Amino acid sequence: MSDPTVSPTKIALGLLLGLAIGAVCRLLAIPSPAPPVLPGALLVVAMTLGYIAADRWFARRAAHHRHLCGGPDGSTKGQG
C-alpha cells in the first residue's frame, strides 16, 4: 500500500459498507450483488488486480505520441 491516499480508515469503511450491503440484501431477501461462489469472487479479485496493475504500468510508460495530442482547443500542431 504505497499509495498515500489509501488509509486504514478508508479500508475499514469500505469493508463495513460491503458488510452492510450484504446484510441489507439478506434481510430484504434480494439477490446479493456479489458472486455466490468462490470462483466468481476470485474472478472479481483477479479483474481488480489486473486493472490496478495495468493502470500503474501504463502510468510509468513514456508517452510516445504526445506530439500528436491536441491543446486546450483540440487543434494539433499540424492544423496550424
What are the pLDDT digits (tens) for 3-54?
A: 666 788 888 887 888 888 878 888 888 887 676 788 877 888 888 888 888 8
Q: Compute the distance between CA of residue 47 and CA of residue 35 in angstroms, rounded to an integer.
A: 13
Length of the chain: 80
Residue 64's identity, in one-letter code, is H
Range with the poorest average pLDDT among 27-36, 54-63, 70-79: 70-79
Residue 42 near residue 35 (C-beta atoms within 8 A): no
pLDDT of residue 1: 45
pLDDT of residue 28: 87
Whether the model pTM is above 0.75: no
